[in-house]
Structure 1
C-alpha cells in the first residue's frame, strides 16, 4: 500500500492505539493495498491455482464418470440385473426363477478362431510344406437371442435391423463384426468366414455396442452372432470356456423398476437360488472391480494434485518473502503510527489469504469445468459415458487444501514482518531483519500443516495410503532441505577459487538469501518424481519384453478337448518338432465360501480381493505345477482317493486368511465342492506359463467334463512361423483357440502405455508447480542480485563476467540437485518395482541421465532469463538509493 494512503486513510497514532486493531480495519487496509493489483503475486496465484485445479478436476471427472455409469447403467449392463455362469447354461429351474421377475435375454461369450471361408477343416494338412493359405484371428464371440438388447441401442453399418444382420440365409448365418476384423483376415465386407464348423457372412460392421463395457477387456475383435449361429459352430461342447450371461429387465420399458426393487431382486436371487454359483451384478454396480480401480486411481491423482500444492507451497513461501521485502517501508510506517507486530502480521495475513482465495477460486472454476471440457473434446472417443456436472465436494476439497497449504507455507515468512523495525524507513531496503519468526507463527504454520494432513485423512478413501504418502512427502521435503543445507555448507567450506566468476558463483550459493534452498526443493522434488515415473515405465516395458522374448511360451491353446488331447499333441509335434508342448486340465470355478463364511461376507486383504470376484481358472494335478514351490504342507499322494484337497497360492492364502486345514468351497459347473487346504505354494508369476491359484487333488473332478489348456514354446521362431502354425491349428482343430503370447503382450503393453501416459499427464501438474516455484525463486532473488550487479559493475565487472558467474552458480546448484533428484527417483522406482509390483528392477541410466540433464539445462535457462534482465539495468538509479 502507498505510504500516503496509509497516513491519509487512518487516524493519528494515538487514535489507533485507543481504538485497537479490530478485524474490519485490518481487512480495510488489506483491501486498500490490493487496489494496486496482483502483479507481485503471479507465481503465488499460479502455484495455488494449479494444485487446486488438479484436485478439483480429478474429483469432478471421477464423479461425472460415476454419474454417467449410474445413468447409463441399465444400457451398459444390458438390463437391470445380470447373472453370469461359467461353462454351463442355467438350469430350467433357474431360468424359470429369472423369467418370473421380468424379461430375460441370454448372451453367450467365448473366444474362438476366425478364418476365411476357403480355409476348411483339415485343409492345412494337405498344404505343401505344412503352410495353409489365408489369415486367422482370435475373436471375441457374443451370441445373442432375439430380445437383445434389453436396454440401449446397437448401431450397425450399413444401417439394418439386428435380426436381419444375424439371420440365416441358405445355411449361412450373418454376423456383425468389429471393423478391424475384415482387414485382419484379408477379406471384404460381405465375404464369408469360418468359425469352428460354421460358415458366416460379414453383413454389417458393429459401430456401437451398448453393453460393451459389461463384457470386460477383450483381446480380439468382436463378432456378434445369433444364439443359433453359435450352436451351428460346434464350439459349445462340454467343458468349453464359455460364459452364459442372463440379463433381466424388471418392470416395463415405460415404467422401469426402482433401484430398491433391483437390489431386492438381486438379494432374493442370492437367498432363494443357492448353489447356482453365478455372479450377480446390478445396474448400480456394473463392475465392482472397475469402481474400486476408479476410486484408487482418483485417490492417486488427488494425491498427485496435493503434491503439486505442496511443491507450490515453496513458491508461496518465496512469494511471501518477496512481498515482505517490498513492504518493509509500509510495515515501518504502520509501526510508526502505533501498530504492533501482531497487528501488522494480521494485515499481511489477511491480504495473503485474500490473494490465495483468488487463486483457489481460479483453480476451482477450471477444475469444475474440466468434465465439460473433456466431454466436448473427447466425448466421442471415451469408452465410458461421461455426465458432466458441477460437483460441490471436489470444489470444497480443492479449496480446503489450497487455503490450508497457503496458510501453512505463508505463516513463517509472514512472521518475519512482526520484527521489521520502524527505523527501516531510513535504512537500506535490503537490510536483513530477524531470520527466524517467533514461536506463535511457527505454531500457526504447524497447525495449518496438521489440519492439511487431517483433512487429507478424513477425505481420503485409503487412510493407510494417505499416511504413507504424507510420510514420504515430509521425508522428501526434509531430505531436500538437508541437501540444500549441505550444498551451502560445502560451498562455504570450499577453498577460495582463483577464477573470479567461479568465486562469485560459490559465494552466491551460500550467501544469506541464496536461491539454493528454493531451487533444490522445487527442482529436486519434480525431478525425483519424473525419474521415478520414467524408470517404472521402462521397467514394466522391459519385463513384458523379457517375458515375450524368453520366459513366456509362444502360444496358449484354449479349449483343447480332453478326448482329442493326444491327437492334438501329435499334430503340434509334427508341425513343430522343436517345440515344447505342455497340457493341463482346466475348468472355471467361483469361490463361494471360506471357512464356512459366504464369500460375499468375507473381508479379504485388498491384494487378494480379486480372487473372490467372478470365476477363476482351476485345475487338478498329481504333482506340483512347474514354477511353484511348496512353502507349507505336503502334496497329496498320486493315488489319493479321499476328500477333496486344495493347493493354494501363498499371497492369496495370506490375503484370504487361510491356513493348512481350512475349508474352501468352490462352485464348479453348478456344483459346490468343498475342499481342505493341504498345502500352500509360492508361484513365480513372472514366468508366463501354466499355473493356477487353486489346484485340486485329481479325484475331485473324476468324470466331470473339462477341456485342456496347452502351452507351446518355440524358441527363436519368427512371426511368420508362428502365424503359419496358428493357421494350421485353426484349420485342423476349429474348436481350439490359439492365443499368440506376443500379441497378448503387445495388447498388455498398449494398456500399460495408456496408463503410464495418464499417470505422466497427471504428474505433470506437479512438474508445472515445480517450474512455477523455480521461476518464483529466480524472481524473488532479483532485487538482491540487482544491487550485487550494480556494485560489481561500479567496481569494473563486465556484463560477460557477471553472466558467467551467474551461469556457473545455476550450473553448480542444478547439477547437485539433479544428482540428488535422479538418485531419489531411482530409489523410489526401485522400492515400487520390488515391493509393490514384484518385478525385477533395471537401472535405465540413459533415461535417468536424460531427465537430469534436461532439468539442469532448464535451471540454467530459467536462471539466464532472469539474469539477463538484471544485467540490463542502469546503475545510476540504484546508486542514488544506496
Structure 2
C-alpha cells in the first residue's frame, strides 16, 4: 500500500511537471493560450491554471479531509437547523395568530371582567366570545386534582376547531353540567366518560375527552390538565368569588378585518386607564416569541462554538495535507512555479473540499425542521410550515465558508515559503513563524466578516461581542494552560518505565499537539463541567429549601370571610405548623416615576415586571423572612399616602432609588406609591414572596382573596390538611409544593439537558479535531513504530505508550476543563443566581475522567493502525 501511495505521488509530480513544461514552452515562444487574452506569463499565476493543477491533484484526496468535512458539516448543520426551526416556529405563529389569539383582538383582565361599556364597544366591531379561566380542584371519590378550568360560551371557539372524543359536538358535551377533560386527568383520577366528579359546589359529568384546543397558550409549564365547562356550569360551582385569581378573556373577530389597526387603537385608548389589557395578532403568543429569539441566539452561539473548534480541525487537516504535499510543492518551485500559483492551487483545493461539507451541512439544516415537529409537538400547538428558509441557510453557509477560509489561510500562506531545496533535503515539516503581513490583514478581514455574520444570525450586538471576546479569551486561556502544563512536564524527571517515558517525551517534544488538544477538548469539557456542577447546585438548593424552609401546601383563593375558619381548621390538625397567610390581588405596573410602562425600554432581564399582572399585597409589618437592605419600614399605625416596598434586584434593573414612585393599576384604579425601602428576596425559597408590598389602607377595600401556606411534619399531616380544607371550602385550591418542585426540577432538567447536548456538540467537534490530529501524525507514527520495532519493542509496548500519551493529553485537557468549568459555574451560581456554591469534586472528576478516557481510546484507535506496517519497505526507502 505504501508503495502504491508513492507511485500515485510520483504520477502526480510527473503530470504537474508536464503542465509546467508546456507552460514554459509557450512562455518562451510568447504564444497566447487559446480562448484567453492574456500571455503565458500572466497565465502562470492565473486562477485558471491554478484550478487545472488543483483539480488534478485533488483526485482521490477527499478521504484525507474526512475529519475536516465532519467538523464543518456539524457546525453548519447546527446553525442552519436552529435558524430553520426558529423561522418555522415564527411563521407558524404568524400564520396561525388568529387561532392562537382566539380572534382578531383579545381583551383580558384579572379578578373582574371588563366593564359592560367596553364589551358593548367591542360588539360594535364584530362577533364577541367570552372565556373565563382559573385554577380549581376536581374531586373524584377520595382523590383530588388541581386543574386548569376554562369556561366557554356557545360562540367559542371563534377561530379554529376544538377536537373532542366521546360526544358529537362541544355543545352536546357541555350541556347538563357536562365537562370535557384532558385524558391524562381521567387516567390519574381513574375516571371514564360518563362518570361523575365534584367541581366546587356542584357535581359534574365527564362527557368527553379533550384532544386539541385551538387557543391553548404555548407554555412549557402547566400546573394542571385542562377542563372545559360551560358558563352556566361555572356559575353553579360557586368558584367565581370576588378577588379570586380568575382571568377573563373577551375575543373579538372583526366584521371588517381591514380595520384591525384602527379598532385595536380605539380599544387601547378606551382601556388605557382600566385594568383591561388589549392584544392583537402581533402579540398572539406573548413571551413565546421572546423565548424563540433567546433560544435561537443561544443555539446559534453553540453552533459557532462547534465551528470554532472545527476550525482547529480545519487548520490541522490543511497543515497535515500540505506537509504531505511538500515534495510536490518543492517540485513545482523547481520548475519555476511562482508562490502565488502555489497558494492559489491549494486554496482552491481546500475551498472546493470545504464546499462539499458546507453543502452537506446546509442540506441537513434544510431538512431538520421535518424531524423537529415531533420534538416540539408537545409544546407548540400551531402547525409548523415545512419549507426552505434561505436566510438561515445562507448565513450557515457563510459561516462554514468563512471559517474554512480563516483557519486554512495561515497554513496555506506558509506553503508559499516552501523552497525548492526542501526537495533535496527530505524535509517534511512546514515552515514556522508568522505569515506575510498581507495574509495577516486578510485574516483580520475574515474575522470581521464572520463577526458581521454572527450579528446577522443573533441580532444581538452585545451577545455577539461577548461571544467573540469570550471565545478569544477562552482560546488564549486554554492555549496558555497547555503551554504551562508542557513547561511543567519538561521539568519532571524522566520516568523509569519505558512506555511512560515514551508517552511523556511525545507530549513535550516540539510540535506536540498539546495546545490544540487542550483547546479543542477543553472547550467542550469546560461547558459540560460548568453545566453539570451548576445543575447539581440548583437541585441541591431546591432539595435543601424543600426539606428546610418550603411549606407543604399553598392554598389560594381563600375569601376574606373564610380566612379565620381556614386558620382554625389547619391549626387543629396534628402535625400542622407555621401557618402563614397574606391578602393578595393582582395589578399591572402602569408607570415608573410618572413614565408610562409602554414608553419604558425595560432591560430584557426585567421585562416581566412590566409585562402582565403582578401579585400585590399590603402589610403593616415586614413579611416573614424579609431582609430590608435599604430604607425603613413604615410604622404599624401608618395612615398616610401610599407607600411601597420593592425588591432590590428589580429596582436596580430600572435604576430606581428611594423616593421614586410606582403606579399600579388595580381593577381600573391607578394607585401611585412612593418607594421607602428595598428588600432582598430569595425567590427560590418557595415561601410567599411579593415584588411589591404596599402600606395598609390602599387596597384593603378592593375585592381580594387570601393566600396561605402550611408546614407538615409528615405525609399523613400533609394529606389531612389538604382534605380538611378543600372539603370545607370548595372554592379553595391547594397547590402541592412537592408538585411545584417537580415542575421546577423538570424545567431545570430540560434546560440542563439542552445545554448538555450543546456541550456534547462541542465535544464531538473536539473529537473530530482529535481524529484530525491523529491522522496528521500518521507518517510520524509510522516512522516511530518502525524505529521502535527495529530496537526490539513489541506492538503491545508501543500501544501502551501511545495509550498513555493520549491519556495524558486527555488528563491535561480535563484539568483545564475542570478549572475553567468550575470557575464558570461559580460565577453563574454564586454571582448571578446568588445561591450558595458547593463544588462537587466527585462530579467534576467523573466528568473530566470520562473525557480523558474518551481521548485515550479514540487517539489509540486512530494510531494503532500504523502498527500493522512492516519495517522492511520503509527501511528500504530510507
How high is the TM-score relative to the length of structure 1?
A: 0.93
Q: Does 1:86 align with 2:83?
A: no
Asked whether the 8 Å contact 1:281–1:287 carries over to 2, the reply is: no
2: CA distance, partners of 1:238 / 1:769: 59
Distance 1:3 1:344, change over 3 A: same
Structure 1 segments unaligned to the other structure (5+ residues):
119-133
Q: Deviations over 1:146-194 (max 9, x none)?
A: 11001111111114211111112xxxx1100111222333433311111
Displacement, 1:376? 6.5
Structure 2 partner of 1:604: 602
Structure 2 segments unaligned to the other structure (5+ residues):
1-8, 28-39
Structure 1 partner of 2:75: 51
Q: Deviations over 1:3-44 (max 9, x none)?
A: 122123343447365644122222332233223341111111
Displacement, 1:111? 0.8
Distance 1:772 1:231, change over 3 A: same
Displacement, 1:584? 0.5
Q: Does 1:544 align with 2:548?
A: no
Displacement, 1:319? 0.1
Structure 2 partner of 1:307: 305
Structure 2 partner of 1:29: 53
1: CA distance, partners of 2:430 / 2:350: 21
Query: Residue 361 of structure 1 is aligned with which of 348, 359, 362?
Result: 359
Structure 2 partner of 1:873: 869
Q: Does 1:209 align with 2:213?
A: yes
Structure 1 partner of 2:84: 60
Report the secondary structure of 2:155's partner residue.
coil
Q: Does 1:839 align with 2:835?
A: yes
Displacement, 1:712? 0.8
Asked whether the 8 Å contact 1:556–1:710 carries over to 2, the reply is: yes
Q: Does 1:619 align with 2:617?
A: yes
2: CA distance, partners of 1:546 / 1:447: 52
Query: Residue 102 of structure 1 is aligned with which of 126, 137, 140?
Result: 126
Report the secondary structure of 1:190's partner residue.
coil
Displacement, 1:443? 3.2
Distance 1:812 1:758, change over 3 A: closer
2: CA distance, partners of 1:867 / 1:307: 27
Displacement, 1:87? 0.3
1: CA distance, partners of 2:565 / 2:494: 84
Distance 1:318 1:84, change over 3 A: same
Report the secondary structure of 2:416's partner residue.
helix
More displaced stretch, 28-37 vs 785-794: 28-37
Structure 2 partner of 1:701: 699
Structure 2 partner of 1:153: 161
Query: Residue 244 of structure 1 is aligned with which of 218, 229, 248?
Result: 248
Q: Deviations over 1:197-221 (max 9, x none)?
A: 1111111111111111268843012
Report the secondary structure of 2:130's partner residue.
strand
Structure 1 partner of 2:292: 294
Report the secondary structure of 1:493's partner residue.
coil
More displaced stretch, 619-628 vs 460-469: 460-469
Asked whether the 8 Å contact 1:608–1:651 carries over to 2, the reply is: no
Asked whether the 8 Å contact 2:167–2:173 carries over to 1, the reply is: no
Asked whether the 8 Å contact 1:353–1:403 carries over to 2, the reply is: yes
2: CA distance, partners of 1:464 / 1:377: 31
Matches within 5 A, 1:767-778: 767-778=763-774
Q: Does 1:789 align with 2:779?
A: no
Asked whether the 8 Å contact 1:140–1:219 carries over to 2, the reply is: yes
Matches within 5 A, 1:274-353: 274-353=272-351
Query: Residue 189 of structure 1 is aligned with which of 180, 183, 193?
Result: 193
Q: Does 1:754 align with 2:750?
A: yes
Asked whether the 8 Å contact 1:789–1:802 carries over to 2, the reply is: yes
Asked whether the 8 Å contact 1:277–1:668 carries over to 2, the reply is: yes
Asked whether the 8 Å contact 2:221–2:743 carries over to 1, the reply is: no
Asked whether the 8 Å contact 1:520–1:813 carries over to 2, the reply is: yes
Matches within 5 A, 1:221-620: 221-251=225-255, 257-258=257-258, 261-375=259-373, 383-428=381-426, 430-431=428-429, 433-576=431-574, 578-620=576-618
1: CA distance, partners of 2:744 / 2:500: 52
Q: Deviations over 1:672-711 (max 9, x none)?
A: 2222222222212232211211111111124222111111
Displacement, 1:563? 1.2
Query: Residue 629 of structure 1 is aligned with which of 627, 642, 657?
Result: 627
Structure 1 partner of 2:655: 657
Structure 2 partner of 1:124: none
Structure 2 partner of 1:7: 17
Asked whether the 8 Å contact 2:786–2:871 carries over to 1, the reply is: yes
Asked whether the 8 Å contact 2:627–2:681 carries over to 1, the reply is: yes
2: CA distance, partners of 1:263 / 1:362: 45
Displacement, 1:366? 0.7
Asked whether the 8 Å contact 1:135–1:186 carries over to 2, the reply is: no
Displacement, 1:536? 2.0
Structure 1 partner of 2:37: none
Q: Number of residue pairs matched?
A: 854
When the two chains are superposed, the root-mean-square deviation of aligned CA atoms in Å is 2.0
Q: Does 1:75 align with 2:99?
A: yes
Report the secondary structure of 1:590's partner residue.
strand
Q: Deviations over 1:221-262 (max 9, x none)?
A: 21110111111111111111101011111137xxxx25xx43
1: CA distance, partners of 2:877 / 2:771: 27
Distance 1:61 1:214, change over 3 A: closer
Displacement, 1:752? 2.2
1: CA distance, partners of 2:836 / 2:260: 47
Asked whether the 8 Å contact 1:664–1:675 carries over to 2, the reply is: yes
More displaced stretch, 824-833 vs 426-435: 426-435
Matches within 5 A, 1:164-203: 164-168=172-176, 173-203=177-207
Asked whether the 8 Å contact 1:515–1:781 carries over to 2, the reply is: no
Asked whether the 8 Å contact 2:96–2:382 carries over to 1, the reply is: no
Query: Residue 135 of structure 1 is aligned with which of 127, 143, 154?
Result: 143
Asked whether the 8 Å contact 1:560–1:707 carries over to 2, the reply is: yes
2: CA distance, partners of 1:359 / 1:744: 46
Q: Deviations over 1:487-521 (max 9, x none)?
A: 32233333233332222212111223322222222
Displacement, 1:110? 0.6
Q: Deviations over 1:814-869 (max 9, x none)?
A: 22221221221111111112233333322222322221111111111112212221
